[in-house]
Structure 1
């Protein structure tokens, strides 16, 4: 296997086991534009009081992340509110919202392990993505349902199964469970079968017994918190926006990192956010509006074409900021490019081919070249991915340091070293550079997604 040469057989096996399961915590970021971390933690622990009582989980702050909360901003206010909002959940499970050390706007929902439920009810079959979401604490939305047992009524108890192969036809009667299906929990139907097999909006099954005790946070304090992994939260802090700076987020949807950078600057910087896919722009803008972000101008634009061939003097006189941009325009750039996503959890099935895997790094290099050209000399460039593929991580950094050896240096972020590991020992980075990058191994004690961050100056 391709990744075995980097991680070894045993190391890769450990990672694969972790990737098949969700982290045993839920992390979220306090939106410090609206509240503070401790208040949100209190609200969450109150909201999930029953969950906390039953499981021992609870919401807490994350050390070194002042806006981080984990179910184990000023972020603490949001944490208090979340604990209040989830009072029943906290009471039942023992989970609660807490802040994230070293992440002032990070919040994590710490989850206790409980005996898994048994599949003992009529079946509802969902698609792979829906099944993965259920493992992270979501309810089953009707759009994710492929098939269901006959004669189901509102309020029936059901067992939910994920069809990883996609063999179930939408609307199919499921009276025998395929042995390849994966059980993800039990729940109660919120509609009759005739509605469950449509693609209507809304919840089809409310999960009552899950393999993992993460509660659903859908629509909970939507303007005060944002569900976000700890590595993703670190990106905003590493960007470190300063008042008055002009910052580019090159591949910005769905908006978690963009809104975080805005909150860290208290809307005091100018952020240009671009997203190639037009369909992602509208929900992106709605997310920013919901979170109180006012310093972002968003465009549907191909990041590969952001660099202007020459300075458009007429364009320079236009009101506002629009792409393409002249060289050396931005004080700081975040490049979180499309990647193979091999670090995301849980992953119940992966159809990534070697050809596709190898293609990502070439595309990332092209985007990096554009980013470098748009960055002011002496500016900051933060590169991040949610993959464990070294060709998209350490080897991109190695390539960049060789290509721009006279213009870019790799900067260290010592305040966040406790969260991550150094670069892979068998990568082409030298020892000093390995020590400066942040590599997040899913099988590490952090128990989070696979991720990678590098900061250039």
Structure 2
């Protein structure tokens, strides 16, 4: 029975062990509501103003001059949001294009389909044809116009393959705005924008981002310290580090941080000069991503949750060694299971850390009684955000 999968909602399957585990914290109806919300994008699409280049009010005015609906967040000054509209009815076309999972989820929200995201052009698709874009599971996500021939798409490596006309959900094409290219904002969910504020980095401090790519929280730390902190950014993937450096270059932040390709589970060995000298550490580790939205389909198992939790604890152990007495660790994930969240805080406490109470407007508390009032959670079906967890810890003096 342990290997049996349960489809909680359309396209989202978890094995029986994980299902029984989650039922310790959610009712069956709550789980259904949560996973149904994961299938949809939030009603607000958030971006973060790059305050090193423009103030939020000026960015709002600039966008509204082009009749773009954009609004300030009620609590975070630099957070702006665009309304997400839908679901829309997708007209049928006679020809189809299949996108990979990640690309399909972007097209589902109105993005164009780019060549790297194409899995297959149906035989006979020509430039100018109306086509339906399908996810790999066969779900129709948009109607668009082919920008290349089916034969041509095999010979090119970039560019728009299908220009989206009608998508299931719609919002402005954020990454095609001139303000995006000018580095005036970074698209980032609301919960993720709270992480750097909880960390509260100050000019002159030594800050380590242990899982820095793609650079969202790192760039926010740079903003909050106006580039005057000593910031180390690490990631184990050379490709992700190159991508991160390009993103932060677009934001005008090149030279304001130090980056290296490192597996930070061994940072105390590889960078002994940091041991005991760091003021603030940020851990946003690889996780099971069960709160990421929108996800059209997914499969998760209890074994994966357990292995991720063990993996995440390796970063926490190293953070303890890096921090000076009185130093601060902020830990965040975009997933739901307590094993990857509250249970890891209990592990951190076993090392000597102390969990510090945090308060974020409209956030929920912890799922485990011990952390009910000290950590912050966001839920897709309650706050209408990605599922997210944030905790703050200190290393005692």
TM-score, length basis structure 1: 0.78
Measured after TM superposition, the shift of residue 153 of structure 1 is: 2.3
Aligned to 1:314: none
Measured after TM superposition, the shift of residue 397 of structure 1 is: 1.2
Question: Aligned partners of 1:121, 1:62: CA distance in 2, in Å?
Answer: 42
Question: Aligned partners of 1:289, 1:324: CA distance in 2, in Å?
Answer: 28
Distance 1:46-1:152 versus aligned 2 partners, 3 A rule: farther
- SS of 1:284's equivalent in the other structure is helix
| 1:352 alignment partner, one of 294, 300, 313 | 300
Aligned to 1:77: none
Distance 1:439-1:114 versus aligned 2 partners, 3 A rule: closer
Question: Aligned partners of 1:14, 1:373: CA distance in 2, in Å?
Answer: 41
User: Which of the pair has the greater relative contact order for Cα pairs under 8 Å at 6+ separation?
Assistant: 2
Q: Deviations over 1:21-61 (max 9, x none)?
A: 111221101111111111212222334x3xx5xxxxx2100
Equivalent residues in 2 for 1:351-390, closer than 5 Å: 351-390=299-338
Q: Deviations over 1:64-106 (max 9, x none)?
A: 11000001xxxxxxxxxxxxxxxxxxxxxxxxxxxxxxxxxxx
Aligned to 1:206: 163
Unaligned segments of structure 2, at least 5 residues: 1-18
Q: Deviations over 1:395-419 (max 9, x none)?
A: 1112222431xxx3222232x232x
Q: Do the aligned partners of 1:417 and 1:438 also contact (CA within 8 Å) in 2?
A: no
- SS of 2:54's equivalent in the other structure is coil
Measured after TM superposition, the shift of residue 142 of structure 1 is: 1.2
Q: Deviations over 1:277-336 (max 9, x none)?
A: 12211111111221111320000011011113xxxxxxxxxxxxx824342110100011
Say whether 1:409 aligns with 2:369.
no
Aligned to 1:127: 100
Question: Aligned partners of 1:113, 1:281: CA distance in 2, in Å?
Answer: 35
Distance 1:24-1:198 versus aligned 2 partners, 3 A rule: farther
Aligned to 1:249: 209
Measured after TM superposition, the shift of residue 127 of structure 1 is: 1.5
Measured after TM superposition, the shift of residue 141 of structure 1 is: 0.7
| 1:453 alignment partner, one of 385, 390, 397 | 390
Distance 1:147-1:326 versus aligned 2 partners, 3 A rule: closer
Measured after TM superposition, the shift of residue 193 of structure 1 is: 1.7
Question: Aligned partners of 1:114, 1:399: CA distance in 2, in Å?
Answer: 42
Distance 1:262-1:121 versus aligned 2 partners, 3 A rule: same
Question: Aligned partners of 2:130, 2:85: CA distance in 1, in Å?
Answer: 24
Aligned to 2:90: 117
- SS of 2:25's equivalent in the other structure is helix
| 2:372 alignment partner, one of 430, 434, 456 | 434
Aligned to 2:193: 233
Structure 1 runs (4+) deviating above 6 angstroms are none
Q: Do the aligned partners of 2:109 and 2:167 also contact (CA within 8 Å) in 1?
A: no
Aligned to 2:79: 68
Q: Deviations over 1:397-442 (max 9, x none)?
A: 12222431xxx3222232x232x10001xx2x42xx3212011111
Aligned to 1:14: 33
TM-score, length basis structure 2: 0.89
Q: Do the aligned partners of 2:285 and 2:333 also contact (CA within 8 Å) in 1?
A: yes
Q: Deviations over 1:3-23 (max 9, x none)?
A: 222212111111110111111
Count of aligned pairs between the two proteins:
371
| 1:152 alignment partner, one of 116, 125, 133 | 125
Aligned to 1:187: 144
Distance 1:22-1:131 versus aligned 2 partners, 3 A rule: same
Q: Do the aligned partners of 1:25 and 1:214 also contact (CA within 8 Å) in 2?
A: no
- SS of 2:27's equivalent in the other structure is helix
Question: Aligned partners of 2:145, 2:204: CA distance in 1, in Å?
Answer: 51
Unaligned segments of structure 1, at least 5 residues: 53-57, 72-109, 165-180, 309-321
Measured after TM superposition, the shift of residue 354 of structure 1 is: 2.2
Q: Do the aligned partners of 1:148 and 1:197 also contact (CA within 8 Å) in 2?
A: no
Q: Do the aligned partners of 2:208 and 2:233 also contact (CA within 8 Å) in 1?
A: yes
- Higher mean alpha-carbon deviation, 181-190 vs 143-152, is at 143-152
Equivalent residues in 2 for 1:35-184, closer than 5 Å: 35-47=54-66, 49=67, 58-71=69-82, 110-113=83-86, 115-164=88-137, 181-184=138-141
Aligned to 1:87: none
- SS of 1:27's equivalent in the other structure is strand
Distance 1:358-1:19 versus aligned 2 partners, 3 A rule: same
Say whether 1:289 aligns with 2:289.
no
Measured after TM superposition, the shift of residue 244 of structure 1 is: 0.5
- SS of 2:280's equivalent in the other structure is strand
Q: Do the aligned partners of 2:317 and 2:351 also contact (CA within 8 Å) in 1?
A: no
Aligned to 1:107: none
